[in-house]
């Protein structure tokens, strides 16, 4: 298993009239978490795209446990439970400042060849970096 964490401060623009994070913003936090998880491996999403690999979202699941609130410092934990093949599944957990789990979810992406726009296997740059976590 591979896991990575990053933090995010809830901004005024993220919340609704009640001061709770707007539900649509959790997908954005998942994206922040997975981009930073890849970056922690030394893989930049921009470089993947420059090398002809796109990663569109295939499915996204969210479970709201408690609201994030204005000015909360959140920890976004991303985990990969299995080695990716043609799909990569990012498990997300979001914790508040008290380290309480307030949100969890799963985002699955596929690897797409940008030239042919056909599904392809996980790029070697990712599998090489992840090998150590799944041996």
The answer, yes or no, to whether residue 17 has pLDDT greater than 90, is yes
Q: Which pLDDT score is estimated for 103?
A: 98
Q: Which pLDDT score is estimated for 131?
A: 96
Domain ranges of the chain: 2-134
| CATH superfamily membership of 2-134 | Hotdog Thioesterase (3.10.129.10)
Q: Which pLDDT score is estimated for 1?
A: 95
Confidence band of 20 (pLDDT split at 50, 70, 90)? very high
Give dist(CA 120, CA 126) in Å, integer: 13
Asked if residues 57 and 107 have their Cβ atoms less than 8 Å apart, the reply is yes
What DSSP element (H or E) covers 4? Answer: strand 2-9
Confidence band of 37 (pLDDT split at 50, 70, 90)? very high
> In the block, which residue shows the tokens 């995010």?
8
Q: Which pLDDT score is estimated for 135?
A: 86
- Nearest of 34, 46, 45, 48 to residue 6 by alpha carbon: 34
What is the DSSP track for 75-112?
EEEEEE-S--SSEEEEEEEEE-TT--EEEEEEEEEE-E
Q: Which pLDDT score is estimated for 31?
A: 97
Q: Which pLDDT score is estimated for 90?
A: 98
pLDDT tens per residue across span 44-90? 999 999 999 999 999 999 999 999 999 999 999 999 999 999 999 99
Q: Which pLDDT score is estimated for 70?
A: 96
b/e code 24-63 from CB counts within 10 Å (16+ = b): ebbeebbbbbbbbbbeebebeeeebeeeebebeeeebebe
Give dist(CA 106, CA 33) in Å, integer: 12
Q: What is the mean pLDDT of the chain?
A: 97
Asked if residues 90 and 2 have their Cβ atoms less than 8 Å apart, the reply is no
């Amino acid at each position: 298993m591979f896991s990575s964490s990053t933090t995010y401060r809830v901004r005024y623009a993220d919340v609704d009239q009640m001061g709770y994070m707007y539900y649509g913003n959790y997908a954005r936090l998942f994206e922040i978490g997975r981009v930073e998880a890849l970056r922690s491996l030394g893989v930049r999403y921009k470089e993947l795209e420059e090398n002809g690999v796109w990663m569109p979202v295939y499915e996204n699941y969210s479970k709201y446990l408690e609201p994030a609130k204005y000015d909360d410092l959140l920890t976004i934990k991303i985990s990969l439970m299995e080695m990716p093949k043609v799909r990569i599944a990012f498990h997300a957990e979001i914790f508040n400042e008290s380290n309480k789990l307030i949100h969890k979810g799963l985002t699955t992406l596929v690897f797409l060849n940008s030239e042919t726009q056909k599904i392809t296997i996980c790029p070697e740059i990712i599998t090489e970096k992840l090998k150590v976590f799944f041996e």
